[in-house]
Structure 1
Amino acid sequence: MTPGHGTASAIQREWQAFWLALGFLTRIPMVMRIDYSQSLMNQSSVYFPLVGLLLGALYAGLFSLLALAWGPLVCLLLVLVFHLWITGAFHEDGLADSIDALGGGYTVEARLRIMKDRRVGTYGSVALILALALKAALLMAVEPVWLALLVTPCAARLTPLLLMRAMVYVTDPDKSKSRPVASSFPAVRLVIAASFVLLVCVILAPWHLFLVPLTVIAVGAVALCWGLNLRHTLGGYTGDALGASVVFTELILLLGLAI
């Protein structure tokens, strides 16, 4: 294999990894053929923050467009509806399942069994309602709103990568949809993802002077606190727990931005 062919092959694989990440996290259809494999899915994880940034751009753009006709609250609620649709409520589903499991299970086996149940219980329902209500309320308090809509989806998708790197996967891998992103996550790709998030925050810092430290605190605090809780209650992480970490990070970051 010539060096040029090897470089082209590597670029093609990264391009496929990006589209795989986009298809995994959203309802946006993949416009190219993907040579799917578990290693490619592992490789795609580094693009989670980039997918988050693209989603954030859609949210900010939609809000600006809707603001031409309606007030802020109506616009934000419509943006949240769009978010739930385009992501398939992927992370919110993880939040509800995680809270149901940790609230209703008293052993690791019971918690994992509850987490796999498609039904949503009281704990999960309450957590989901409160999370969405708090998100809407915080977005109403943030200025400028477009900045929060743009940066939070990007920054929040770094937290699962930290958890994947630091912890072990505990759900039956043959039955879990998150198995492809649970097997391995190289440190170098984590550094790349973290650098990308920080670069985005630095570029946007003129609109909020404390954006960079707030992002570091939000991602670090959720990764540490949620990670320690998962280690204690499950012995590791699950795909649902990763989704919950995204929601938690968004809320913590919004709390900081809304001060």
Structure 2
Amino acid sequence: MPTEAKSITNEWQAFWLAVGFLTRIPMLVRIDYSQKLMNQCSVYLPLVGLLLGALYAGLFTLLSLAWNPLVCVLLVLCFHLFITGAFHEDGLADSVDALGGGYTVEKRLEIMKDSRIGTYGTVALVMALGLKAALLLDAQSIWLALLVAPAISRLTPLLLMAWLPYVTDPDKSKSKPVAEGFSRKRLLVSVVFTVVIVLVFSPWLPGLWLVAITAILTVALVWGWYLQQQLGGYTGDTLGASVVFCELALLLGM
């Protein structure tokens, strides 16, 4: 196979691998799985977010034909938790449990690996989901907020991966391949893609570019600084938490 064609095939497979990694959507192509391919897939996080956003916006529009906005938003959130397997919410709960209940780095990492959820994690989940529903209901355009927020917010973990060290047991972490193989060159591709999304939808959401930049950088800097202080770097769970935090910040701005 020519080099260019092989490269296109690898990127296509990397995209579908990212879809399979972040969601329960069946992969529609054959994947020649390898560590290198897993390393490549992180660049497609915002694109997967846009795919999810399109599903959420479409579902909300369909549901709104029969029910009021509150019911529709809650049903869309239920669908979100199902289609993603509560992937990022799980990271939020584990992160808050660990950072709230651990007094040393070792203890925090130990708590983070525990599959059980504690009081801190439960409270964080309830508040995050409740606030997300309230902010969506308060948005100028609910379907548009559902569409763009998942894509824009998934740039934040890539910034953390680019500038912080990875600090968990690599042999027991499902994010190991992504974390070890991420490069700043691929981050640039994700940044460009996110900028395009913001520019495309700015006419319908005035000020979206300012809200997006503020939310992404604020969460990346504040959460990244806190993780550096508490853990010395990031883990897979803290990356998931960063997506939730950035989505909430975006919705606050919208």
Unaligned runs of 5+ in 2: none
- CA deviations 1:68-111 (Å, max 9, x no partner) are 00000000000000000000000000000000000000000000
Identical residues among aligned pairs (%)? 67
Q: Which one of 132, 136, 154 corresponds to residue 133 of structure 2? A: 136
When structure 1 is superposed on structure 2, of 85-94 and 25-34 the one drifting more is: 25-34
Is the CA contact (8 Å cut-off) linking 1:164 and 1:184 kept in structure 2?
A: no
Q: How many residues align?
A: 254
- SS of the aligned residue for 1:207 comes to coil
**1-structure distance, mates of 2:243, 2:154:** 6
How far residue 116 of structure 1 moved from its aligned partner, in angstroms, is 0.2
Is the CA contact (8 Å cut-off) linking 1:63 and 1:76 kept in structure 2?
A: yes
How far residue 31 of structure 1 moved from its aligned partner, in angstroms, is 1.8
- SS of the aligned residue for 2:31 comes to coil
**2-structure distance, mates of 1:90, 1:120:** 14
How far residue 184 of structure 1 moved from its aligned partner, in angstroms, is 2.8
- SS of the aligned residue for 2:202 comes to helix
How far residue 38 of structure 1 moved from its aligned partner, in angstroms, is 1.8
User: Where does structure 1 differ by over 2 angstroms across 4 or more consecutive aligned residues?
Assistant: none
User: Which residue type is aligned with residue 24 of structure 1?
Assistant: F
Q: Which one of 192, 195, 220 corresponds to residue 195 of structure 1? A: 192
1:207 corresponds to: 204
2:151 corresponds to: 154
**2-structure distance, mates of 1:123, 1:244:** 13
Unaligned runs of 5+ in 1: none
Q: Which one of 159, 167, 172 corresponds to residue 169 of structure 2? A: 172
When structure 1 is superposed on structure 2, of 194-203 and 85-94 the one drifting more is: 194-203
**2-structure distance, mates of 1:105, 1:93:** 18
2:235 corresponds to: 238
User: Which residue type is aligned with residue 15 of structure 1?
Assistant: W
User: Is 2:119 aligned against 1:122?
Assistant: yes
Is the CA contact (8 Å cut-off) linking 1:171 and 1:238 kept in structure 2?
A: yes
Is the CA contact (8 Å cut-off) linking 1:222 and 1:245 kept in structure 2?
A: yes
TM-score, length-normalised on structure 2? Answer: 0.99
1:34 corresponds to: 31
How far residue 144 of structure 1 moved from its aligned partner, in angstroms, is 0.7
TM-score, length-normalised on structure 1? Answer: 0.97
1:9 corresponds to: 6
1:18 corresponds to: 15
Q: Which one of 24, 48, 52 corresponds to residue 51 of structure 1? A: 48
**2-structure distance, mates of 1:41, 1:164:** 15
When structure 1 is superposed on structure 2, of 27-36 and 230-239 the one drifting more is: 27-36
**2-structure distance, mates of 1:221, 1:60:** 26
Q: Which one of 180, 183, 207 corresponds to residue 180 of structure 2? A: 183
User: Is 2:224 aligned against 1:224?
Assistant: no
How far residue 200 of structure 1 moved from its aligned partner, in angstroms, is 0.6
- SS of the aligned residue for 1:10 comes to helix
**2-structure distance, mates of 1:104, 1:71:** 40
How far residue 186 of structure 1 moved from its aligned partner, in angstroms, is 1.7
**Two-structure CA RMSD over aligned residues (Å):** 0.8
- CA deviations 1:102-145 (Å, max 9, x no partner) are 00000000000000000000000000000000000000000111
